[in-house]
Amino acid sequence: MNRRLKPIMFVGTCSDAGKSVINAAFCRIFKQDGYRPAPFKAQNMSLNSYSTPEGGEMGRAQVVQAEACGIAPHTDMNPVLLKPTNDKSSQVVLNGRPVGNLSARDYFGTQNRKEELFREAVEAFRRLGSRYNPIVLEGAGSISELNLRDRDITNMRMAGQAGAATFLVADIDRGGVIGSVYGTIALLKPEERALMKGIIINKFRGDASLFNDGRKIIEELTGVPVVGVIPYFHDIKIEEEDSVALDMKRNTYRDGKINVAIILLKRMSNFTDFDVLDMDPRFNAYYTNNIAEIEKADILLLPGSKNTLADLQSLRAAGIAEAIIRAHKNGKKVIGICGGYQMMGARLEDPDALEGNLPAVPGLGLLPQCTVIEPEKVTRQSTFAFLPAGKRDHSCHGYEIHMGRTTLSGDAPESPVALLDDGRTDGYYLDSTCWGSYMHGILDNPEVLDHLAEGLDREAKTTSFDYAAFKEEQYDKLAALVRKHIDMEYIYGQLTII
């Protein structure tokens, strides 16, 4: 049995420095080296979430990291999740359960509430530490935002509470890396600086030896060693949680591929549902709210939303709703997931103003159903049979996160997309060109992906794409890259408990 290690934490000079991906790399490295690691982030702010096997809700970044560890996700890995509902307020999810909506002023301005959440985060960390070794912690954004220091439950306060060997991740691709590293460390309190064991320069393009002088300057200025320079890479595909990742996914139409237009929503949630389309060579997926690009696509996908009624109204005002309806009439495939599925019905209602100030809006009218937003949030994992007529095998997997109840209109016949293992049905299947489902992750199943490509695959591929196996390969490739460019002997030296 391997020795017990101290916790390790990765914090950043800025948002999108690559902390989540480096965290995932170390999760896989520790697993490969015979340990039983687990990820942890005290607080996430994201609309990309996941339902755990126990039915709790957590941010997807720690789900990816748990996959890299080879363990099941648990809400202890992300005890506080903030899901923005509009520009001023967020739903607060604590230990996997929603506990209410708060404005930013209420959330950040009440010291007692922050202390309560910090205590909950510490308890979750301790529970996790009793089951796994080592705990691989991730910070949030920049650790040098002094105006947020007193409200911090995620960065250096958590590092101190955990006694974590802490490593600063800096994005050199942005420029000004020496200044950002020096300034970040200079602004730390002495006790915080004592936790800082190394600096990782991330996203370096070209010959890393050209940065040797930069390494020396950083080490002389900060007194902290640069333990690695990670190259910028395009050939390793790791799911990214932050919405800034969408800026890298604005592809356009490509001949010879199945072109998929994912409708860009202001409050889009769980865009990771569509990551598999970036990996399967049959598809060319792009996020867009441009009507011309929508009309050129073979398939239109309507994603989930944290404010479904308002997003649908925005689509209608911009003429996009009519473009979607027109595409359906012209034989294009139109598929909705979660909030997108709700939009496809005849009407949406929010009588308790749970999402916003719109009590009701007309839907797209593509499916014979109506949806009412209700206070109870459904969060659960399921196995299911896809297009269940005549099937009894529940070989597909997905998860639900929604607050809506959808019912059929009038005498519309039942036509489910999925038969779940507990006997429930999900979704509505009009025909192969028009269907919707509450099931997040539904496209990750090869059977569903093949159905999506049916009749459109230009190269008539016969081999299904195995997304689960693909992701395992990516975690191993990521771990190999980071091992090559990080001083792992030094890392283990800092984690050894004397």
> And the tokens for 232?
């910028």
Q: Is 27 a catalytic residue?
A: no
The C-alpha atoms of residue 324 and residue 265 are separated, in whole angstroms, by 14
- Cα gap 364→238, rounded to integer Å: 34
Q: Look at residues 306, 275, 245, 265 and name the one whose alpha carbon lies nearest to residue 442.
A: 275
Please provide the DSSP assignment of 420-438 as one string: ETTS-EE-EEEETTEEEES
Catalytic residue among 74, 328, 402, 440: 440
CA-CA distances (angstroms) from residue 344 to 59, 125, 365, 373, 379? Answer: 26, 41, 6, 15, 21
Question: What's the count of helices (H) and strands (E) in the chain, helices before strands?
Answer: 16, 26
**Could you say which of 27, 338, 370, 396 is catalytic?**
338
* Full strand arrangement of the beta sheet holding 8-12: 38-40, 135-138, 8-12, 165-171, 196-204, 226-231
Contact 92/84 with Cβ under 8 angstroms? no
How many angstroms separate the CA atoms of 390 and 94, rounded? 41
**CB-based contacts of 248, cutoff 8 Å, min separation 6:** none
C-alpha closest to that of 5 among 42, 25, 35: 35
Return the DSSP state at 151.
Answer: G
In angstroms, the CA 69 to CA 48 distance is 20
CB atoms within 10 A of CB 471: 20
Q: Is 328 a catalytic residue?
A: no
Catalytic residues: 338, 440
